[in-house]
Amino acid sequence: MKAVNQKAWLLILPVVLCVAFSAILPLMTVVNYSVQDIISPERRVFVGTEWFKAVMRDDDLIGALGRQIVFSLAVLAVEIPLGIALALAMPAKGWQSSAVLVLVAISLLIPWNVVGTIWQIYGRTDIGLLGASLAALGIDYNYTGNALDAWLTVLVMDVWHWTPLVALLCYAGLRAIPDAYYQAASIDGASKFAVFRYIQLPKMRGVLMIAVLLRFMDSFMIYTEPFVLTGGGPGNATTFLSQYLTQKAVGQFDLGPAAAFSLIYFLIILLLCFILYNWMQRVGTADKEPGHG
């Protein structure tokens, strides 16, 4: 067991200071703004929870929240299975494994605005391969004008961008499984599906938890890529929460409501992640098993 040592605080002090500097100070500022009406730098009026109430009644906000939830769920529904499938398909040894690894990981290392730019170009029917191909097939595709097309493009862009993260995590989890497990399964007469279900999937539990957590958090905060691709349009069809917040804060410079909304945004994510985190911890250490064959 771990030794009890309060002096360990000295070791974590630098981290706490750094993060506190980057997090607590700004957070306090935000809280500060959220309860004041800043008419001008000199004139501030304490308004209590007024901004919070206003924000909750804001239809645009509810709309953005709804869109965000649908988007995040769709992202998880596609990227997790696809990532697992990709990890299973990636070679384990040899020069091929390095080559495939680099090729798969490239999309992770592209600055997010460049991702948006790539797809912005790619989807255009005049200069983009995807757009032109779809047009050549007779499909009426226009991601700037058509809401559904915009949605699908943003979704596919995110899948293209982030599935490799899920895949790399699962790939690492798979490589950690000793050969003996596969040999024993072969001796036990297990089918390929049984091997996946009883050996590979359980052993990937740890990394899958990380993948789901990360993808959920990040998709809920997504800003740059859809901003560059569609600007939130057409209309506000692809305006998700972060963009909504930025519009309010920077665009309209409504500090009060923006701050209030920021806090609510933060708390939503916190709550959802807390639930997700605990649920997965429970699955990881469960003594009772749901359903088995």
Partner 1 sequence: MDERRFRKRSLFLVLYLVFAILPVYWMVNMSFKTNEEILSTFSLWPLHFTTDHYRTIFTDVSWYSGYINSLIYVAINVVISLLVALPAAYAFSRYQFIGDKHVFFWLLTNRMTPPAVFLLPFFQLYTTLGLMDTHIAVALAHLLFNVPLAVWILEGFMSGVPREIDETAYIDGYSFPRFFLTIFIPLIKAGVGVAAFFCFMFSWVELLMARTLTSVNAKPIVATMTRTVSASGMDWGVLAAAGVLTIVPGAIVIYFVRNYIAKGFAMGRV
Partner 2 sequence: MARIELDLAHAYRANPQRDEDYALLPLKMCFEDGGAYALLGPSGCGKTTLLNIVSGLVTPSQGHVTYDGRDVTGLSPQQRNIAQVFQFPVIYDTMTVAENLAFPLRNRGVPEERIRQRVGQVAEMLDLSGQLGMRAAGLAADAKQKISLGRGLVREDVSAVLFDEPLTVIDPHLKWQLRRKLKQIHHELKLTLIYVTHDQVEALTFAQQVMVMTRGRAVQVGTASELFERPSHTFVGHFIGSPGMNFLQGRGHAGGIEIAGRLLAAPTESLARLPDFTLGVRPEHVQLVAADTAGAIPGVIMQAQDIGTSWLVTARVGSGLNESLLRARLGAEQAIPRVGDTQWLSVVGEHTCYYVNEELIA
Which residues contact partner 2 (rule: CB under 8 A)?
178, 180-181, 183-184, 186-191, 194, 198-199, 202-203, 287, 289, 292-293
Closest contact distance (angstroms) between CB of 283 and partner 2 is: 11
Structure tokens at 51: 């901004």
Cis before residue 257, ω within 30 degrees of 0?
Answer: no
Nearest to partner 1 of 70, 127 (CB atom): 127
**Kind and range of the H or E element at 274?**
helix 255-284
Choice between 32 and 186, CB closer to partner 2: 186
| Least Cβ distance, residue 289 to partner 1 (angstroms) | 20
- Supply the minimum distance, in Å, between the C-beta of residue 100 and partner 1: 7
Asked if 74 contacts 64 with a C-beta cutoff of 8 angstroms, the reply is no
Question: Could you tell which of partner 2, partner 1, none binds residue 62, using a CB distance below 5 to 8 A set by kind?
Answer: none
Of the candidates 274, 250, 248, which has an alpha carbon nearest to the alpha carbon of residue 55? 248
Cβ-based nearer residue to partner 2, 199 or 221: 199
Nearer to partner 1, 32 or 49 (CB): 32
Residue 39's binding partner, choosing from partner 1, partner 2, none, with beta-carbon cut-off 5 to 8 A by kind? none
Give the integer Cα–Cα distance in Å for 63 and 236. Answer: 9
Length in residues, the chain: 293
Assess contact for 280 and 212: CB atoms under 8 A: yes
HSE-up of 272 (CA within 13 Å, CB side)? 19
- Smallest distance, partner 2 to C-beta of residue 2, A: 21
